[in-house]
């Protein structure tokens, strides 16, 4: 199983998920322009079965339509964010749902706080694609219309912190001092993971 991190635009990350020797692939968050992801799909000779959107914001979803015209994938998003995606979603997702891409298993983890329907993707107990829920060293904005500091604090503490340390965190933006890290290290160094109370968390500038 391979997860490729693809820089898209200035600082967005798209992710291509596929298995060696199999044709089926999923693209997570095509971004504003999917040119880099489309080139990788072409180079690898893959068929795109799914686009998975971690949340509805346009910098993650605007290229859904152009990719769909080329590959006819199903577009998947959490049921709370799907109606806000331009062009909509074909399949809505819920917390705990399992997707299979070839022999790759993807578990949907609902992590609201940046948006109401934000999700993280746990891929084969190896990778955690965190969208705009968790960045390296930080978390996504909670001051936008769908955001909530209290809800983000719960998502980080009740969902993300309970996951195993060996996971590789693959965020939705290249905002940190490195493009990815282990979850175990982020638990030790990230200010949003270290905050020990809601008051402290919501006071982080």
> Which residues form the interface with Fe ion (CB under 5 A)?
57, 132
CA 115 to mean position of chain CA atoms: 12
Q: Which residue's CB is nearer to Fe ion, number 83 or number 164?
A: 83
CB of 104 to Fe ion, least distance (A): 25
CB of 8 to Fe ion, least distance (A): 13
C-alpha distance from residue 22 to each of 48, 50, 74, 122 (Å)? 11, 14, 18, 20
Q: Which residue's CB is nearer to Fe ion, number 41 or number 75?
A: 75
Q: Which residue's CB is nearer to Fe ion, number 49 or number 148?
A: 148
CB of 46 to Fe ion, least distance (A): 26
Query: Which residues of the chain form beta strands (DSSP E)?
Result: 2-8, 12-18, 24-28, 47-52, 74-78, 91-93, 98-101, 104-110, 119-123, 127-131, 134-135, 138-139, 168-171, 181-182
CB of 41 to Fe ion, least distance (A): 24
CB of 177 to Fe ion, least distance (A): 20
Q: Which residue's CB is nearer to Fe ion, number 99 or number 134?
A: 134
How many Cβ atoms sit within 10 Å of the Cβ of residue 162? Answer: 8
Q: Which residue's CB is nearer to Fe ion, number 101 or number 120?
A: 120
Q: Which two tokens stand for residue 46?
A: 């893959």
Instruction: Give kind and range of the element (H or E) at residue 58.
Output: helix 58-61
**Is 55:39 a contact under the CB 8 Å cutoff?**
no
Q: Which residue has the tokens 């893959």?
A: 46
Q: Using CA atoms, how far apart are residues 132 and 136, in angstroms rounded to an integer?
A: 10
Q: Which residue's CB is nearer to Fe ion, number 57 or number 116?
A: 57
CB of 114 to Fe ion, least distance (A): 6
């Amino acid at each position: 199983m391979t997860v490729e991190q693809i820089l898209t635009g200035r600082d967005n990350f798209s992710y291509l998920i596929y298995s060696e020797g199999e044709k089926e692939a999923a693209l997570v968050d095509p971004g504003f322009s999917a040119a880099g992801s489309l080139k990788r799909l072409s180079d690898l000779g893959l068929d795109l079965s799914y686009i998975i959107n971690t949340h509805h914001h346009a910098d993650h979803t605007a290229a859904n339509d152009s990719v769909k015209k080329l590959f006819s994938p199903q577009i998947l998003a959490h049921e709370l964010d799907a109606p806000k995606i331009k062009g909509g979603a074909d399949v809505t997702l819920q917390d705990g749902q399992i997707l299979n891409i070839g022999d790759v298993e993807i578990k949907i983890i609902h992590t609201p706080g940046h948006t109401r329907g934000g999700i993280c993707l746990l891929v084969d107990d190896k990778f955690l694609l965190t969208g705009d829920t968790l960045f390296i060293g930080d978390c996504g904005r909670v001051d936008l219309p769908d955001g909530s500091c209290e809800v983000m604090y719960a998502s980080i503490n009740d969902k993300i912190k309970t996951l195993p340390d060996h996971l590789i965190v693959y965020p939705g933006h290249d905002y940190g001092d490195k493009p990815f890290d282990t979850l175990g290290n982020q638990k030790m160094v990230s200010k949003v993971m270290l905050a020990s109370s809601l008051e402290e968390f919501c006071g982080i500038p």
